[in-house]
Amino acid sequence: MNKFALLLCAALLGSAAQAAEYTIDTKGAHAFIQFRIKHLGYSWLYGRFDDFSGNFFFDEKAPEKSSIDVDIDVRSLNSNHAERDKHLRGEDFLFVEKFPTASFKSTSYKDLGDGKGELTGDLTLRGITKPVTIAVTHLGGGSDPWGGYRQGFTGTTEFPLKDFGIDYNLGPASQTVEMILDLEGVRI
């Protein structure tokens, strides 16, 4: 391999690992915000939000500098049951007429090593903002077949419904909601 080709390869490989801003790939449906909550303690109710957008910053060499900002259209809630979705969008739960959006804006990232970390930030839901921590795993990154560069992450968190003004009584086993977040971003 000649010297020019070697320098070109080194430059390309070096640029792939640089810190970068990414847009969450919702157009290609490579990102999901899902939830689950126990139904009366007998089974799990799963759902998702179909409409959201956001960006994140990621530096493989300094993951503690990572950040994310996401906006969610809570009217896009989908639990695969029209009547239940109508109730969940209503005043008893998300009250989408008054609070049509939710958001998450990170405030810090703690690198735990081996691709794992804790992302802390402010979640705003039903007009109430509270800090939440998301357990994050970096799934990987690299070039895609369309000439772009991607990074992928998965994360989980849970919080009491009452923290966000949701007091509807579903029984003692149904007081906490779990969020499952799978995000793939395309470098901007």
Whether residue 96 contacts residue 75, with contact meaning beta carbons closer than 8 Å, is answered with: yes
| Residue 118 near residue 137 (C-beta atoms within 8 A) | no
In 3-state terms, what secondary structure has residue 8? helix
Sorting pLDDT into bands at 50, 70 and 90, what band is 6?
very low
Task: Please state whether the predicted TM-score (pTM) of the whole model is above 0.85.
Answer: yes
**Cα end-to-end distance, the chain, whole Å:** 31
In whole angstroms, how large is the CA radius of gyration of the chain? 19
E strand residue ranges, 26-127: 32-39, 43-49, 52-58, 67-73, 77-78, 101-113, 116-125
What average pLDDT score do residues 135-154 get?
Answer: 97
Given a cut of 50, is residue 36 above it in pLDDT? yes
> 72: which strand partners?
52, 102
Mean pLDDT of the 47-62 span: 97
Angstrom CA distances, 121 to 7, 66, 95, 115, 170, stand at 40, 12, 23, 19, 27
Q: In whole angstroms, what is the distance from residue 120 CA to residue 106 CA?
A: 6
- Segment 33-47 mean pLDDT: 95
Is residue 12 over pLDDT 90?
A: no
Q: Which pLDDT score, from 0 to 100, does residue 17 have?
A: 55
Q: Tell me the domain boundaries of the chain.
A: 19-187
Task: Please check the confidence at residue 91 and state whether its pLDDT lies above 80.
Answer: yes
Is 80 exceeded by the pLDDT of residue 113?
Answer: yes
Q: Provide the pLDDT for residue 40.
A: 87
CATH code, residues 19-187: 2.40.128.110
